[in-house]
Structure 1
Amino acid sequence: MKKSNSTNSILVLALAFVLFGTLSVHAQILNKPVPADNPNLAGNSAWTAVCASAGFNEYFVNFTWLPPMVDSSNEFILELSDSDGYFSSPTELARVSDKNGTFDFEFEFALPTNIRGDNFKMRVRSTSPAKTSPPSDAFSMYFIDYNSPLLISENGSGTIPSGGQIQICGGGSVTLKPHNIPNADSYIYNWYRSGTLLPQKSESITVSDPGMYYVELDYGNCSGSANTLSNTIEITTGTSSGLAINGASSIEVCPGATHLLEANISGMGYTYTWYKNGNIVSGPTVDGSSYTVNANISGFEGSYVVEIEGSGICKESSNTVVVSNSGSFDITLDHEENIVLLPSQNKTLSVSTTATNATYQWYKNGSPITDATNSSLDIDTVGEYYVEVTENGGPCTPAPLASATTTVVSPESFELVIDYVGTYTSCASTDATMSLTTINAVGENGSKTDVTADLQSSFSYQWKQEGTNIAGENSKTITISDQEGNGNYTLFGSIDAFDAISNGLEVRLASNESLAITANSTVLCEGGETIVLNSGLDLTDQAFEWQKDGTVVDTASEALTVTAAGVYQLIINTNDCPLISNEVTITNFDESLLVLDKSKDLIIIEGETETITASGADSYEWYDAGNNLISSSNSYDFTEEGEYLLIASFGTCTLSKVITITYRDMFAIPNVITTNGDGINDLWVLPNTYSRDPNVLVTIFNERGEQVFSQAGYENNWPQSTTSFNKQSMIFYYKITRGGKSLKQGTITVIK
């Protein structure tokens, strides 16, 4: 029968005393964790591999350790290595904080869902003291998150071939891949050919050898319980039949005509599938060895291929035959956008074409223009214009091809559009650039035509500020770099008899001046000097406001008296944009602002020097017990015991700290006392560092681990009686702690 943990703890503690004697000279020993049986499963034994899943994920490991005792705040942590057995970035499996008196217990853990591998190790780490056990043996550990049969197909297409057979020809190959598993590339695979395990471990495999292929997920020693074995695909090989499409590899078909494509193998009961540009256009059809291309059908042009398959031959594809329109050609009009025609202007339209022997006819408003039969046309009136191009060469006579229509309009007016160039932010930028972006011609019905590219160099320009001309600013762009230029800007333009005015843009530039405020102190304390914020400027004729945390608190006082902590700023409203000062942060006085690098109750060795350094304040003064100033620096070297005073100044605030210096005892914690009543060494006396301190707890245990004494602020008064010592030499175990943190521990031998 397995002993209880508490029984084991006492036995291990007793054994530790026998083996190691005085525990204070030995550190804890953490043993490596080992697999344990699952107490929730009847007849279960310790596991040899972890094969976890969503249906079962409960495992245990046993852990033992030897005293001395760990601290009461200690936690034991079970950690898992990476798949190669390294702990550079371990995974935490379990953590316990209630086993600090138990030397033999089990961790329960669940395997993380991303763990898969054959060389995982575990270890146990304690936090107080910080120690780490040796690593465990290596184990296979897999979380089986997919446990259904895999389905494989060519390229993972999802189409399993009829009869499970794929034939490859002429030294070709085929790629097999599962198509029913999510995140397929995150797994390791076992591929087989006719029962033989192949070396490939990836999600796909490219094969050319005949055989029976199948796959399963590689879950190591857990693979058998995963049930992922796939379907089987048989790969066979054969010889190419030399399939081709008869005739030339490039065919031109006249509009309205047809062309017959024929395979060079026919009449043998084979199945044919015809493709255009990779898409099926006919079949699969038995003995369908020909396909008719009909030029009457739009989009007949393309690349044609035929595929053949059947008994006794390889499945293969033919060469490619390109079918094109013999009468096709392209035309491009140089002005496909609308054209604005001014009274004094004329424009030229022209067309380019790929026709080899082209003739032209221009149209206006749907009617042919007399004698307009060249590739270009001069226009001087409004209307809708296009051209028809006819191809007169080649084997076909296609219908004329019409160009896009260009609308020529006469404007009623023009519209100019201006915008900021680059980044501009009102009252934040110190300069602004504006420029013409668009010229619109406005028609009778209000329709707008963008004529920027055509007319921007023909306009005359004048920039205006608040409606007044700005001397010398006659280009499309203007830059403002001074607050005196703040205002509303427009751009005036003229061409022929037309005048145009742009939209307006507001410019509000920030001042180039800086505004600084200062404070006689930044720490606010009761009884301290009044804190005043000041700019040093004459604000008599200025509109200004003092703000605290973004809220206006004063609009009349040139100097602001601070009554509360916060972030302060001064804002002067000038030239339509505010001039904003720096921020001054006022904080309430806090004793934590003063930081000492050592305890204010310092124990030193007589004859030696210890330095205490202060930080956080503006200035410091150190005084001895006679109230004599001994230093004004931020640190002081102490050589004598006694009480000292530190006064730290924070602006107009001060803080006092009493520093107590005590000589350290020159003796160690005794590990032997006598109780013979001779007055010598009858009591267990501790150094001043540990005695009479109410924050220090002294606890003593007997050799069975039972507590026999516990006292905070130990008075050097143990043992209080000699009646309990019934042996010549007895061993006790002590532990000294402060705030739950272990300071010292060891043994005391009592000699009667």
Structure 2
Amino acid sequence: MKKKSSLYSILVLTCACMLLGTSFLGAQVLNKPVATGNPNLGGGSAWTAACASVDFNEYFVNFTWSPPLVNSDNEFVLELSDSNGNFGSPVELARASDKNTEFDFEFQFAVPNDVRGETYRMRVRSTSPAKTSPPSDPYPMHFVDFNSPLLISPDGNGSIPPSGTFQLCGGASVTLAPHNIPNAGTYQYNWYRSGTLLAQKSQSITVSTPGMYYVELDYGSICSGSANTLSNTIEITTGTSQGIAINGSADIGLCAGDAHTLEANISGMGLNYTWYKDGVAIAGPTSEGYTYNINTGASDFAGEYQVEVEGAGACLERSSAVTIRNLGDFEVTRQNEASIVLLPAQTRTLSVTTSATTPTFQWYKDGSPISGETSSSLEINAIGDYFARVTETSGGCTGSPIDSEITAVVSPDSFEFVIAYAGSYIACQSSDATLSLTVINAVSDTGAKTDVTSELQSSFSYQWRHNGSSLSGENSKTITVSNFENNGTYVLDGSLDSFNTSSNNLTVKLPVDETLQLTSNGTILCDGADPIVLNSSMDLSTETFEWSKDGQVIETASESITANEVGVYRLTITTHDCPLVSNEITVRAFDESLLVLDKPENLIIIEGETETVTASGAESYEWFNASNNLISSQDSFGFQEEGEYLLVANFGNCTISRVITVVFRDTFAIPNVITANGDGINDLWILPNTYSRHTDILVTIYNERGKEVFSQTNYENNWPQSTTAFNKPSMIFYYKITKAGSSLKQGTITVIR
């Protein structure tokens, strides 16, 4: 059976107390909260475990309590314990401030995202008066923030073994861990071996016993299955280590054509053998293939060789590497640039290094040997193509000599300078610009270029030119321009011996260090007002300029303009090759909403105090009293007396007027008795103006059965109305005054006829 209206219960209790002339003694009883069905899902059975996630997190508990009434400012707070049911640091789940007259209602809450445990409890606390309910029964509660299958691998390295099988040798162990879950250490886990739940709850598990291992996140007895986190399976097998190795030396030198066989140290056990070179399989797996013949006829036979074995009851093992070296193979490395620019009367040194054990050297120029030049270095003073030929004279191998890379030594036909802006430079924005030599190219008679910056930059003499004229004292590779009067084109000249060269051109444009200011006689367009004229702070008679409105050019000849339309106006002057942009003036249409007051025009003040009203949006202000006397020319005025006041706000030649009505605030209390007998005295329920005539304050009146009989915002002190019927000589009504859903006042009204 549905319980009677809680409001009805309150009214009956209030009436009984008044009639008996006594007060209700006792204290509220808060009952423990109980899980209940979700009304948004059709109600149904109460939940027994909260398995929340980002996709679903909406739960309800039912809460009941017994009178007397709590205070009007009371709030009921639903709180959650820790995972052990302890309320030492409770977590707030929900709060209700509008249930102070309901003795049976539901809290809706969401499970916090750090909740994981089996014995959480809830309780309800009231704030006024301060009381706490008994704790609820324990509930499993888990926020399932990861609900995808886990992936496990050895050491969590992300590499799942082929076929999911991992072999352990010689009593070894392996650590298994998930590798696809963020913040893995913040969870508890359920580890299984061949279907048996293990005791470990940690992120990883170290195992040495054969079996099928898998894991899931431990979300408790109920939520774990629904989370769907069960991982892949890794089968752990065991075997015996064979101690595989390759017989003989671990470092072997061979010549091309030599015969050599590698042999494993284990044979005759029915094992499969796989041979590797530089980590890549080259033979096998082959049963009893415990030897491998090195193919020294191949040019790349040198490398690192290993053998791997596997078989029934034997561990998969790979041997240490044996190094096979090609004794006829060595390297020759050039120690200088590939291209060298040789100036007249200049000498340079070329050199090579080699990995040959006992090398001999022979230098060549333009393909012919240079007599007597048989060391690893060569001093040159002539142009040509040079290389060194190196021969290995020991080691027992017959090999071909190896030539170094060719060095081209050239004599330049000319030089080229390249200059560039150093650092960040933006034309007509940067306050300075630094120009610097970046590249010196030697140019051959065929036009081929060779970068010789590092070799020759300290050998050249330099001279900067500005707009074709040499700049006194500017003789380095770098120049900085910091004055807009030096805007223009810059070139760097250089000379070395008989060579003279000039760089590319770079243009510098620095902004003018001046301020262009626009002024106007107004910014508001209105009928009958003087035209709005915009003027510049600079003389425009000799300048090139553009007037623009909203980014579009509207005038290029007049030194001042008249703004006949709303928009954003600006002036741009082109001077020293850069634009000089003025401030912006925004012309707006006349609109009374331009004037903004921070207080209502109907102002209620407390007698003896000052209430200040501040205006904004206009250019000037005038405040007048009821006698039309000017009382202030500021943007604000402090009111102390009742009456009507006039504010005139000026927008250039446009004005807006506002009337401010000031009354004193009522100080009488809310009446609880009226005599609706038509004698004109106390016939209406009159509220102080703190609560009446406010569009954001709602006044609601209920009869003794809890039925709403009147509800009005902007209350006009007009209840009861002439049509209201009273069927008893004395009746009790209940009122609530609220603002934005929050209770301001509540109580009873006794109506006597």
TM-score range, shorter chain: 0.7 to 0.9
- Partner-residue secondary structure (3-state), 1:453: helix
Contact 2:217 2:229 (8 Å CA) reproduced: yes
Return the offset for 1:577: 2.1
Counterpart Cα distance in 1 of 2:79 and 2:256 = 78
Match in the other structure for 1:129: none
Return the offset for 1:301: 4.0
- Partner-residue secondary structure (3-state), 2:225: helix
Contact 2:212 2:234 (8 Å CA) reproduced: yes
Of 9, 16, 21 in structure 2, the residue corresponding to residue 15 of structure 1 is 9
> What whole-Å deviation, never above 9, does each CA across 1:133-181 have from its counterpart, x for those lacking one?
999875424559757697767855333558x5622325x33233568x7
Return the offset for 1:296: 4.1
Match in the other structure for 1:515: 516
Counterpart Cα distance in 2 of 1:41 and 1:710 = 33
Return the offset for 1:377: 2.9
Match in the other structure for 1:725: 727
Counterpart Cα distance in 1 of 2:160 and 2:367 = 56
Return the offset for 1:662: 1.4
Return the offset for 1:388: 1.3
Opposite residue 433 of structure 1, the aligned amino acid is T
Match in the other structure for 1:749: 750
- Select between 289-298 and 143-152 the one with higher mean Cα deviation: 143-152
Match in the other structure for 2:129: none
Identity %: 56
Match in the other structure for 2:190: 190
Q: How does 1:321-336 map to 2 (within 5 A)?
A: 321-336=322-337
- Partner-residue secondary structure (3-state), 1:515: coil
Counterpart Cα distance in 2 of 1:382 and 1:121 = 93
- Select between 12-21 and 350-359 the one with higher mean Cα deviation: 12-21
Match in the other structure for 1:625: 626
Q: How does 1:592-603 map to 2 (within 5 A)?
A: 592-603=593-604
Matched, 1:391 2:359: no
Match in the other structure for 2:60: 61
Counterpart Cα distance in 2 of 1:151 and 1:330 = 47
Opposite residue 539 of structure 2, the aligned amino acid is D
Counterpart Cα distance in 2 of 1:40 and 1:610 = 50
- Partner-residue secondary structure (3-state), 2:5: helix
Return the offset for 1:359: 0.9
> What whole-Å deviation, never above 9, does each CA across 1:242-288 have from its counterpart, x for those lacking one?
44333344333344435444333332223334444444344433333
> What whole-Å deviation, never above 9, does each CA across 1:606-637 have from its counterpart, x for those lacking one?
34443434455555443221122334444444
- Partner-residue secondary structure (3-state), 1:425: coil
- Partner-residue secondary structure (3-state), 1:747: strand
Counterpart Cα distance in 1 of 2:43 and 2:604 = 61
Return the offset for 1:403: 1.0
Q: How does 1:541-620 map to 2 (within 5 A)?
A: 541-588=542-589, 591-615=592-616, 617=618, 619-620=620-621
Counterpart Cα distance in 1 of 2:360 and 2:623 = 108
Return the offset for 1:479: 3.2
Contact 1:525 1:589 (8 Å CA) reproduced: yes
Return the offset for 1:484: 4.0
Match in the other structure for 1:668: 669
Match in the other structure for 1:207: 207
Judging changes above 3 Å, is the alpha-carbon distance between structure 1 residues 432 and 640 closer, same or farther for their aligned structure 2 residues? Answer: closer
Return the offset for 1:545: 2.9
Matched residue pairs, number? Answer: 723
Counterpart Cα distance in 2 of 1:455 and 1:626 = 92
Return the offset for 1:714: 2.8
Counterpart Cα distance in 1 of 2:61 and 2:331 = 83
Match in the other structure for 2:716: 714
- Partner-residue secondary structure (3-state), 2:504: coil
Matched, 1:401 2:402: yes
Judging changes above 3 Å, is the alpha-carbon distance between structure 1 residues 667 and 479 closer, same or farther for their aligned structure 2 residues? Answer: closer
Return the offset for 1:640: 2.4
Contact 1:417 1:438 (8 Å CA) reproduced: yes
Counterpart Cα distance in 1 of 2:591 and 2:134 = 48
- Partner-residue secondary structure (3-state), 1:552: strand
Contact 2:150 2:178 (8 Å CA) reproduced: no
Judging changes above 3 Å, is the alpha-carbon distance between structure 1 residues 322 and 465 closer, same or farther for their aligned structure 2 residues? Answer: same
Opposite residue 176 of structure 1, the aligned amino acid is L
Contact 2:6 2:101 (8 Å CA) reproduced: no
- Partner-residue secondary structure (3-state), 1:224: helix
Opposite residue 718 of structure 1, the aligned amino acid is P
- Partner-residue secondary structure (3-state), 2:648: strand
User: Which runs of 5 or more structure 2 residues have no equivalent in the other structure?
Assistant: 18-22, 126-132
- Give the structure-1-normalised TM-score: 0.78
Judging changes above 3 Å, is the alpha-carbon distance between structure 1 residues 237 and 738 closer, same or farther for their aligned structure 2 residues? Answer: closer
Q: How does 1:98-247 map to 2 (within 5 A)?
A: 117-118=116-117, 139-141=140-142, 146=147, 155-160=157-162, 164=165, 166-169=167-170, 172-177=172-177, 189-193=189-193, 195-202=196-203, 204-208=204-208, 213-220=213-220, 221-225=222-226, 229=230, 233=234, 235=236, 240-247=241-248
Judging changes above 3 Å, is the alpha-carbon distance between structure 1 residues 693 and 416 closer, same or farther for their aligned structure 2 residues? Answer: closer
Judging changes above 3 Å, is the alpha-carbon distance between structure 1 residues 423 and 142 closer, same or farther for their aligned structure 2 residues? Answer: closer
Contact 1:697 1:714 (8 Å CA) reproduced: no
Judging changes above 3 Å, is the alpha-carbon distance between structure 1 residues 285 and 577 closer, same or farther for their aligned structure 2 residues? Answer: same
Matched, 1:363 2:364: yes
Opposite residue 601 of structure 2, the aligned amino acid is K
- Partner-residue secondary structure (3-state), 1:571: strand
Counterpart Cα distance in 2 of 1:65 and 1:740 = 23
- Give the structure-2-normalised TM-score: 0.78
- Partner-residue secondary structure (3-state), 1:454: helix
Matched, 1:734 2:728: no
Q: CA RMSD in A?
A: 5.1
Counterpart Cα distance in 1 of 2:134 and 2:589 = 53
Judging changes above 3 Å, is the alpha-carbon distance between structure 1 residues 709 and 491 closer, same or farther for their aligned structure 2 residues? Answer: closer
Counterpart Cα distance in 2 of 1:124 and 1:545 = 73
Q: How does 1:335-354 map to 2 (within 5 A)?
A: 335-342=336-343, 344-354=345-355
> What whole-Å deviation, never above 9, does each CA across 1:490-516 have from its counterpart, x for those lacking one?
334444554433322222232233333
Opposite residue 503 of structure 2, the aligned amino acid is S
Match in the other structure for 2:130: none
